Amino acid sequence: MSIKIAIIGCGFWSSFQTAAWKEFPAEVDVVACCDPDIDKARALATRFDIPHVYGDAKSLFLNHTLDAVDIISDVDSHAPLSRLAADHSVQIICQKPLAPDLKTATEMVSYAASKGVSLYVHENFRWQAPIRRLKQILDQNLIGRPFKGHLKFCSSFPVYDNQPFLAELEQFILTDVGTHILDVARFLFGEASALACQTQRINPKIKGEDVANVFMVMGQGLHCYAEMSYASLWEHESFPETYILVEGEHGSVYLGPHAEISVTTQDGTDRESVKVKWFSWADPEYSWIHSSVYSCNKNILAGLLKNGQVETTGDDNLRTLQLVFDAYESARTCKMMQYP
Amino acid sequence: MSIKIAIIGCGFWSSFQTAAWKEFPAEVDVVACCDPDIDKARALATRFDIPHVYGDAKSLFLNHTLDAVDIISDVDSHAPLSRLAADHSVQIICQKPLAPDLKTATEMVSYAASKGVSLYVHENFRWQAPIRRLKQILDQNLIGRPFKGHLKFCSSFPVYDNQPFLAELEQFILTDVGTHILDVARFLFGEASALACQTQRINPKIKGEDVANVFMVMGQGLHCYAEMSYASLWEHESFPETYILVEGEHGSVYLGPHAEISVTTQDGTDRESVKVKWFSWADPEYSWIHSSVYSCNKNILAGLLKNGQVETTGDDNLRTLQLVFDAYESARTCKMMQYP
């Protein structure tokens, strides 16, 4: 028996998550989609053969008995929509960032729990195949205890073209990209014990910060530097790749351009190109980003079907969000945040 | 008329500074050298044709009327030796770090000033030809206002082989390398307004820290990350090169391996190999390090001859040392240091 899912929010990104759900025809039935801009909902429904279309979420819940909703709408709508879902005992999958502030996000997670409803976050960066492979290499102890990490997501990609609302956000790159990158840092290295951050706005046409640099102590004392920027003009445009260098007591691992990983030890350097599952709906230029949507959905599906552990639960994601919002606080106060 | 200089401290590094002085035969006369290990002093004297050799500094000052001394001895001896020089109205050139703590360094600078004696620091990294060229590119405004800098001096070079005392230092990489790297950061970007640092010891055979990462706000708000490590096993050994990436509002400059600089703007990337003055006494593998000794001496010589401005005065170097010792303090307290 398949589970019934509805999509709420039918903008640019929803097509990838919907396409990914369609990869599980035996387990998932996308029964409806919903957007205040009904034309967007209709377009998504047409493209993915979704039988029902709604302009408001209340009608959606009135007309369907759902197992889960996948909320892919603007951040401000996440809290009311997830509350509505919880009130209807419908499990929640929510786009990142969960909420515009930590308090709201915490309330969302608590409210879902109080209603006995699971809340999962569609946090997909940690599901990118090259990042999974890098984690595997660390776990295999090939380079010994890692003591330093450097994550870099810097480009001059005009991200505002596809998602114009990003230019209007008062808080931009930390909430948009920082949620991903700091989550990857936690995934790779464990929890943070200290954090310092600085932000800047370089592009004069946007409202929020487009440069953020976060310096953390993580896990068993590893130093982590996470660089994010949409104002970085390089020789080789790197969007949407995350470059990651990890140094250990006996070597280093580097995830660089084109999903290539090199592992250096005293014995020399091994290089591999990480294979990425290919989907017809994925843009070849973004194949491992789009492929990570599939892997993220697959992991969440295990939770929905009660046959596996979900990594990106609401509870887990609150720890990532704490780092994100503390990063703003650190930048504002010029202080190092500590987590005893 | 040439000025009379004596070398105090005749260990490993003194041969490069002495060789560099010998490049100014019309202006500089190296009249004596001195080391408590008289064999070392004799060896240096023989190699560089230095007429007088001493086992203690007091005899040196008693027997010669000097214009300047170049103190290239262990850090603990810098203060008493520079005091002795000042008492004899002899100008002082001192190896970095000036002193084992900021208080002692400050007293050294004050004492020299009180005696009307100039005190210069042999701080040579900022005199490396590729770093001078990078600064020139920034000053030419080719990439617009710089907003981010990343300095990297990380290798697994067994630096203890040539300089075994380094393994015994309680405070190692920040005092040894940090003095250089944080000075380069100041040279390129201006003064720091905030600093956070973390340190680690990875090599179990040494006493001090061999990994230090410093996160700073500099100049007009630029974010600077300075990475230092002697525990970094890369694919390509980088010692003794400093890699520097600077991002500006309109492009980026990268100083990478083999003194190659690339400048990227909207118009594309220009690449150049920085030419380094070659000296017969320089090790080809370290040509631009050794060449920087010449340039540093040349700048200090202008001060000694009163015909030019010295960049690395004691006063200036105290600002670098403040960052170095505050970096230890930040690492110890896990706090961000601020400079209002």
Q: What is the DSSP string of B139-180?
A: HTTTT-SEEEEEEEEE----TTTT-GGGGG-SS-HIIIIIHH
- Residue B213 CB contacts under 8 Å (≥ 6 apart), including other chains: A148, A215, A223, A225, B197, B198, B199, B225, B226, B227, B228
- Is 80 exceeded by the pLDDT of residue A271? yes
User: To the nearest whole percent, how much of chain A has pLDDT over 90?
Assistant: 94
Q: What is the pLDDT of residues A130-167, one digit of tens each?
A: 999 999 999 999 999 999 999 999 999 999 998 898 99
Structural domains counted in chain A: 2
Please tell me the distance in Å from B337's CA to the nearest CA on chain A: 8
* Tokens read off for A92: 């929640």
Q: What is the pLDDT of residues B118-167, one digit of tens each?
A: 999 999 999 999 999 999 999 999 999 999 999 999 999 999 998 898 99
Give the model's pLDDT for residue B312. Answer: 98
Do residues B65 and B4 make contact, with C-beta atoms less than 8 angstroms apart?
yes
Please tell me the distance in Å from A94's CA to the nearest CA on chain B: 33
Q: What is the pLDDT of residues A183-231, one digit of tens each?
A: 999 999 999 999 999 999 999 999 999 999 999 999 999 999 999 999 9
- Do residues A134 and A262 both lie within one domain? yes
Chain B residue with the nearest C-alpha to that of A233: B251
Please tell me the distance in Å from B245's CA to the nearest CA on chain A: 10
* Tokens read off for B212: 């230090």
**DSSP codes joined into one string, B7-23:** EE--STTHHHHHHHHTT
Which candidate from A217, A227, A334 shows the least CB-CB separation from B194? A334
Selected residue of B220, B267, B336, B339 to mutate for chain A interface (largest A Cβ count, 10 A): B336
Scanning the structure block, which residue is given the tokens 């050794």? Answer: B290
- Do residues A129 and A117 both lie within one domain? no
Counting one residue from chain A and one from chain B, the pairs whose CB atoms sit within 8 A come to 111
Mean pLDDT over each residue of chain B, to the nearest integer: 96
CATH (domain of B214): 3.30.360.10
User: Is B225's CB within 8 Å of A202's CB?
Assistant: no
Could you tell me if residue A297 is inside a domain?
Answer: no
- Is 90 exceeded by the pLDDT of residue B289? no
Give the model's pLDDT for residue A288. Answer: 82
- Alpha-carbon distance of A183 to A172, in angstroms, equals 16
Scanning the structure block, which residue is given the tokens 């040509």? Answer: B287
- Residue B136 CB contacts under 8 Å (≥ 6 apart), including other chains: none
Closest CA to B289 of B24, B9, B19: B19
- Is 90 exceeded by the pLDDT of residue B237? no
- Alpha-carbon distance of A195 to A147, in angstroms, equals 16
Please tell me the distance in Å from A279's CA to the nearest CA on chain B: 34
Residue spans of beta strands (DSSP E) within chain A:
3-8, 28-34, 52-54, 68-71, 91-95, 119-122, 146-154, 192-200, 211-218, 222-229, 243-248, 251-256, 260-265, 268-273, 337-338
- Is 80 exceeded by the pLDDT of residue B1? no
- Do residues B94 and B23 both lie within one domain? yes
User: Is A247's CB within 8 Å of B266's CB?
Assistant: no
User: Is A252's CB within 8 Å of B265's CB?
Assistant: no
Q: Residue A268 region, left (φ>0) first, then alpha (ψ -120 to 50), else beta? A: left
Contact residues, chain A, for B223 at CB < 8 Å: 198, 200, 211, 213
Please tell me the distance in Å from A189's CA to the nearest CA on chain B: 16
Give the model's pLDDT for residue A57. Answer: 98
Q: What is the dihedral of CA B307, B310, B315, B316, to 10 degrees?
A: 150
Residue where a domain stops, chosen among A105, A122, A139: A122
Residue where a domain stops, chosen among B92, B122, B152: B122
- Do residues A81 and A129 both lie within one domain? no
Contact residues, chain B, for A202 at CB < 8 Å: 147, 249
Please tell me the distance in Å from B138's CA to the nearest CA on chain A: 15
- Do residues B215 and B310 both lie within one domain? yes
Q: What is the pLDDT of residues A279-334, one digit of tens each?
A: 999 988 888 889 999 999 999 999 999 999 999 999 999 999 999 999 999 999 99
Contact residues, chain B, for A217 at CB < 8 Å: 198, 334
- Do residues B202 and B66 both lie within one domain? no
Interface of A with B (CB under 8 A): 143, 147-148, 150, 154, 194, 196, 198, 200, 202, 211, 213, 215, 217, 221, 223, 225, 227, 229, 231-235, 247, 249-252, 254, 262, 264-266, 269, 330, 334-336, 338
What value of ipTM does the predicted structure carry?
0.95
**Exposed e or buried b for every residue in B245-255, given b needs 16+ CB within 10 A?**
bbbbebbbbbb
Closest CA to A177 of A194, A196, A155: A155
What 3-state class would DSSP assign to A300? helix
Section A111-134 average pLDDT: 98
Phi and psi angles of residue B140, each rounded to the nearest 5 degrees, phi first: -75, -5
- Do residues A27 and A118 both lie within one domain? yes
Please tell me the distance in Å from A55's CA to the nearest CA on chain B: 43
Chain A residue with the nearest C-alpha to that of B270: A235
- Do residues B103 and B201 both lie within one domain? no
- Alpha-carbon distance of B21 to B333, in angstroms, equals 43
- Is 90 exceeded by the pLDDT of residue B236? no
Q: What is the pLDDT of residues B96-129, one digit of tens each?
A: 999 999 999 999 999 999 999 999 999 999 999 9
Please tell me the distance in Å from B194's CA to the nearest CA on chain A: 7
- Is 90 exceeded by the pLDDT of residue B286? no
Give the model's pLDDT for residue A340. Answer: 84
User: Is A221's CB within 8 Å of B211's CB?
Assistant: no
**DSSP codes joined into one string, A151-213:** EEEE----TTTT-GGGGG-SS-HIIIIIHHHHHHHHHHH--EEEEEEEEE---TT-SS-SEEE
Selected residue of B150, B211, B223, B224 to mutate for chain A interface (largest A Cβ count, 10 A): B223
The side-by-side arrangement of strands in the sheet containing A119-122 is A52-54, A28-34, A3-8, A68-71, A91-95, A119-122
Residue where a domain stops, chosen among A95, A122, A149: A122
Could you tell me if residue A139 is inside a domain?
Answer: yes
Do residues A32 and A7 make contact, with C-beta atoms less than 8 angstroms apart?
yes
Count CB-CB contacts under 10 A for residue B230.
24
Do residues A292 and A128 make contact, with C-beta atoms less than 8 angstroms apart?
yes
Contact residues, chain A, for B269 at CB < 8 Å: 235
- CA distances (Å), origin A327, targets A194, B247, B322, B330: 10, 21, 26, 18
- Alpha-carbon distance of A294 to A129, in angstroms, equals 11
Residue range of the domain that includes A189: 125-286+311-338
By DSSP bridging, strand A268-273 and strand B222-229 are: unpaired
- Do residues A160 and A216 both lie within one domain? yes
Phi and psi angles of residue B3, each rounded to the nearest 5 degrees, phi first: -95, 150
Section B265-290 average pLDDT: 91
User: Is B233's CB within 8 Å of A266's CB?
Assistant: yes
Count CB-CB contacts under 10 A for residue A6.
26
Interface of B with A (CB under 8 A): 143, 147-148, 150, 154, 194, 196, 198, 200, 202, 211, 213, 215, 217, 221, 223, 225, 227, 229, 231-235, 247, 249-252, 254, 262, 264-266, 269, 330, 334-336, 338
- Do residues B160 and B15 both lie within one domain? no
User: Is A334's CB within 8 Å of B217's CB?
Assistant: yes
Q: What is the pLDDT of residues B304-319, one digit of tens each?
A: 999 999 999 999 999 9
- Alpha-carbon distance of A308 to B119, in angstroms, equals 69
User: Is B225's CB within 8 Å of A233's CB?
Assistant: no
CATH (domain of B79): 3.40.50.720
- Do residues A118 and A131 both lie within one domain? no
Q: How confident is the model at residue A238 (pLDDT cuts 50, 70, 90)?
A: confident
- Do residues B40 and B79 both lie within one domain? yes
Q: Residue A18 region, left (φ>0) first, then alpha (ψ -120 to 50), else beta? A: alpha
**DSSP codes joined into one string, B214-249:** EEEEETTTEEEEEEEES----SS--TT--EEEEEET
Section B86-100 average pLDDT: 98
Q: How confident is the model at residue A22 (pLDDT cuts 50, 70, 90)?
A: very high
In the Cβ-directed half-sphere of B24, how many Cα atoms lie within 13 Å?
Answer: 25
Give the model's pLDDT for residue A284. Answer: 85
Chain B residue with the nearest C-alpha to that of A156: B251
- Is 80 exceeded by the pLDDT of residue A257? yes
Q: How confident is the model at residue A237 (pLDDT cuts 50, 70, 90)?
A: confident
- CA distances (Å), origin B162, targets A7, B209, B230: 66, 18, 14
**DSSP codes joined into one string, B262-323:** EEEETTEEEEEEPP----TTS-GGGHHHHHHHHHHHHHHHHHHTTSS--SSBHHHHHHHHHH
- Is 80 exceeded by the pLDDT of residue B201? yes
Amino acid at B106: T
